[in-house]
Amino acid sequence: MAEQPRPLLQVEGLTAGFGAGPVLFGVDLELRAGELVALIGANGAGKSTLLGVLSGLLPATGGTVVFDGRDVTNQRAERLVAAGLVHVPQGRRLFASLSVERNLRLGAYLRRDPGVDADLARVLEYFPALADKLQREAGTLSGGEQQMVAIGRGVMARPRLLMIDEPSLGLAPKVVERLIEVARAINRDGTSILLVEQDVLVALEAADRGYVLENGRIALSGPAGELAQDPAVRRAYLGV
């Protein structure tokens, strides 16, 4: 049997927490190059904390994070971005008074290659609605447009793994549908994606595989289609 390629991201025994106590307890997770993996769970399960640890914004108190074969546990965020591990945070976190174009170009702030303009054009292919808004202040855009800018800014870093945290938050279903379509297109174009979502159906329909995080622990994992049909998932998250 052919040997499986090593995972692009491998998380083993990860623990993390704040002053009030632990939030993550021995989390194991892996993602292979080219995959779109969903991480689902209720509010407060620890999903955003996990992404914060993976992207160097929060410290791990135990366990390891290995990216492309290198131990990157508790490395600084800018080093992880330079390595190709990029985080689109919950709540968009745009620079509201800067133009849309400036916000997008800030995603490429570590890059010194000549491909930045081509990547800006690629972002506008993913999100044509932004093409006539490049000179507008980002804070004047609708919530959906701001989320487009946030994802586009992540793409501008030319990531190998793009982690997107709760893109559907507060948005109309039609807008969410469009954002998920674009996430799938970005994935098809060669970028691996870890999609964190409270909207379980949306996430599992888009993903190859999924993990269910409950109270800081991985409760279930498997192919996305199987998780969507799992009775425990359907009861807990779909109300059926």
Distances from the Cα of 182 to the Cα of 34, 114, 122, 194, 229, angstroms? 15, 24, 12, 14, 25
Strands (E), the chain: 9-18, 21-31, 36-40, 62-67, 70-71, 85-88, 161-165, 192-197, 209-214, 217-223
CB 60 within 8 A of CB 15: yes
For residue 66, give the CATH number of its domain: 3.40.50.300
In a domain, 117, yes or no: yes
> Of 62, 59, 51, 74, whose CA–CA distance to 19 is shortest?
59
In a domain, 2, yes or no: no
CA distance linking residue 220 with residue 228, whole number of Å: 11
Q: Which amino acid is at 27?
A: V
Chain-centre distance of CA 85, in angstroms? 10
DSSP 238: I
Task: List pLDDT tens digits, range 47-90.
Answer: 999 999 999 999 999 999 999 999 999 999 999 999 999 999 98
In a domain, 33, yes or no: yes
CA distance linking residue 109 with residue 156, whole number of Å: 9
Domain extent for 74: 9-238
Q: What is the pLDDT of residue 4?
A: 67
In a domain, 173, yes or no: yes
In a domain, 3, yes or no: no
Quote the tokens at residue 169.
Answer: 């938050």
pTM given for the model: 0.93
Non-local (6+) Cβ contacts of 128 within 8 A are none
In a domain, 91, yes or no: yes
> Of 216, 212, 218, 215, whose CA–CA distance to 231 is shortest?
212
Non-local (6+) Cβ contacts of 74 within 8 A are 56, 59, 60
Task: List pLDDT tens digits, range 94-134.
Answer: 999 999 999 999 999 988 899 999 999 999 999 999 999 99
Task: List pLDDT tens digits, range 132-155.
Answer: 999 999 999 999 999 999 999 999
Number of domains in the chain: 1
In a domain, 4, yes or no: no
Non-local (6+) Cβ contacts of 48 within 8 A are 90, 165, 166, 196
Q: What is the pLDDT of residue 93?
A: 86
CA distance linking residue 126 with residue 121, whole number of Å: 9
Question: Which residues are paired to 165 by β-bridges?
Answer: 196
